Structure 1
């Protein structure tokens, strides 16, 4: 299937399915929202979203209405949560396509309310997830006074119904940290205020992959949800795509997770440099000996960070080949001097496994001073996604 490509990403949907099912089992009685935003973390949402639904997911999380409509086209029965809220003019599309918005700004409720009145919708027919800013200072209602104002807005539009209350933790992998303790107390106060006005949310949505995998604080979150007659919803993202949570306590037994994406390129050309000859822009690499270089058709326009120049490696014939010189927009050279028999057409692995060697998004992130989320989401749209398995 990949023979016609000089560079591509393979997406193993059977691994995605297995990862979701492992995480769903780990969640036990809790609801799981599968985060599929940012083109399913760079994996290709049009393939991944239906696979997640087939694996048993009921909820999918995206950022925008645009992402939600793309998901709705391939997953007509999914509950789709638009996690960054609606923008102006999007209420009609949200209602028409049965999308669930997170809300916190007055204009979110104004526009949804106006659309509900225009359509004459029945009481409670438009579910929303009210986001509370518990300390991340990014999105959500901030403070009990503002929360009271939003609740009054909601109550003036009977068609709108608080189905869920959600928040984002600033340190989700440190649920015993002082910051998280403070956020949990703010969330508890918000839920108390919401309940005092007669609202009965069905879901309390908090925690990501680290929360689910580690189990740190889950019982406390679950008890908080149950106190208000709700279920806990957990929102795994990176773990879905096969990346375990780093820096977990040794006693935490993480579910087995398999990377879903492999990024590959073919050797397009080979040449030998004599000692002292340069390679690439600004001659940042010079051969210290007779050096055999292989050309790959992949560069920073494809998402291979320029920060990996002269630092990163790829796998060729099961061995590591260092990147030689600066990564350019469309091409990268690698040193295959120590790898016998390399030929034009050989596969080079940028992310994935070949033989006993493996390169992960964590490795690329560490070398370029970022996080694996950015590495995966940064694989550009011009990289063909090829579904395998």
Structure 2
């Protein structure tokens, strides 16, 4: 157990409420709860069971190692390996009851050999279609050839067929409509070749929060005699995608961030006008300046681009980062915050209340400063930051 005073708190009540909000926003489709990348940095061992308890039957992970860890936490859930399998992984996928996505004939050969060795007559997979993202999936001009390869692999049962949209948050982008058409065409061509899945799925958080898209996917499933599913990730953890284009939806303010990242003041000092702080002396005091030292740095995931630009919350007020974020330590300016003392809580991400003030820093805010997306901010929080269940059972802001 780490005694270092830097940690992240995970609010399971908020996670459950976010799932319920998405469930209500996407009628007619099932939700696969995406818990890859250690639940977007939130700790899959904590989050996956809470999502299953909330009604999620399917959990999405990236790879075999993630799948095994989630299987240990959720023995009865369906777990999809969204980035497929690599050489030698099929046997472990079968052993742990994981469902791989396939799109290469090499995947089929790996599964066929492992299933035959284990005497398994039918092992479920999901086939991915490349409807226009050109990342992974069977290209449209290879549908029939891949279906023929499936027919030569009797150990494999195609339970699901999926695709991935490249710009679902751009609501007036005709590319998403074209991708849906391509997916529809692929399903029809697979059916003609005798491949009839019981599940079709596509889309992410943006899809789940766009009623027209969830209706389209539900209709596609109905057309092909299959259940429909979408795969939200980021929104489960309290952040809505940044929609754009004509008819863009307003940000869903009901979603609440699940993770709060905190540390404590471990040292205080005052520097005089003209003195500097941090590596390369990028902070210069213009007046007597009170500095607080925090035991957190870029090795924990606090991006160096926040140097002299970001802030933390102390006593419900913003304390600007003073100088460079270093590997293990960060200095903040608390000159204008009364009464700061050793041991005071500093919030890097999350909310903080004080006697007369309340403030919040979100992953969206940090992403804007860093020139990135909130996904990266959350996933970058390092493994030496322990994740703990928040003491506040209500998880309210």
Indicate the TM-score class for this superposition, using the shorter chain for normalisation. Answer: over 0.9
Give CA-to-partner distance per residue, 1:159-218, whole Å, 9 cap, x none: 211111111111011254122122122111101101111222111110110111122422
Aligned to 1:83: 82
Residue 347 of structure 2, aligned match among 349, 354, 359: 349
Shift in Å, 1:246: 2.5
Describe the superposition over 1:283-337 as per-residue Cα deviations: whole angstroms up to 9, x where unpaired: 0001011000000000000000000000001100000010000000000000000
Match of 2:266 in 1: 268
State the distance in 2 between where 1:175 and 1:352 align: 29
Q: 1:287 to 1:371 in 2, by over 3 A?
A: same
Q: In the alignment, what sits opposite 2:61?
A: 62
Q: What SS does the aligned partner of 1:169 have?
A: coil
1:313 and 2:311 correspond? yes
Quickly say closer, same or farther: Cα 1:175–1:110, change in 2 above 3 A: farther
SS state of the match for residue 217, structure 1? helix
**Contact 1:32/1:234 (8 A) holds in 2:** yes
- Larger mean CA deviation between 177-186 and 353-362 belongs to 177-186
**C-alpha distance in 2 between matches for 1:128 and 1:202:** 11
Does the aligned pair in 1 maintain the 2:144–2:193 contact within 8 Å?
no
Matched with 1:386 is: 388
After superposition, what is the alpha-carbon deviation per residue over 1:142-161, rounded to whole angstroms, capped at 9, x for unaligned? 123x2212211111122211
Alignment of 1:278-289 (within 5 A): 278-289=276-287
RMSD: 1.6
Report the CA distance between 1:28 and its aligned residue. Answer: 1.7
**Structure 1: distance between partners of 2:211 and 2:367:** 25
- Is residue 375 of structure 2 the alignment partner of residue 370 of structure 1? no
Contact 1:209-1:235 within 8 A present in 2 as well:
yes
The number of aligned residues is 385
Tell me what 2:229 maps to.
Answer: 233
CA–CA distance in structure 1, aligned partners of residues 76 and 45 of structure 2:
14
Deviation at 1:254, TM superposition (A): 3.5
Post-superposition shift, 1:250? 6.3
Given the superposition, is the C-alpha separation of residues 175 and 121 from structure 1 closer, same or farther in structure 2, using an over 3 Å criterion?
Answer: farther
Q: TM-score, normalised by structure 2?
A: 0.94
Distance 1:253 1:315 in 2: 24
State the alpha-carbon separation in 1 of the partners of residues 248 and 114 from structure 2. Answer: 51
Distance 1:237 1:320, change over 3 A: same
* More moved, 212-221 vs 41-50: 212-221
Match of 2:156 in 1: 160
Task: Provide the C-alpha distance between the structure 2 equivalents of 1:206 and 1:386, rounded to a whole number of angstroms.
Answer: 32
Give yes or no for contact 2:28–2:215 (8 Å, CA) kept in 1. no
Structure 1 residue 149 corresponds to structure 2 residue 148: no
Q: TM (normalized to structure 1)?
A: 0.96
Displacement of 1:251 in angstroms is 5.7
**C-alpha contact (below 8 Å) 2:112/2:155 kept by paired residues:** yes
> Unpaired segments of 5 or more residues in structure 1?
none
Q: Work out whether 1:191 is the aligned partner of 2:190.
A: no
> Which residue number in structure 2 is paired with residue 300 of structure 1?
298
User: 1:247 & 1:253 partners in 2: Cα distance?
Assistant: 8
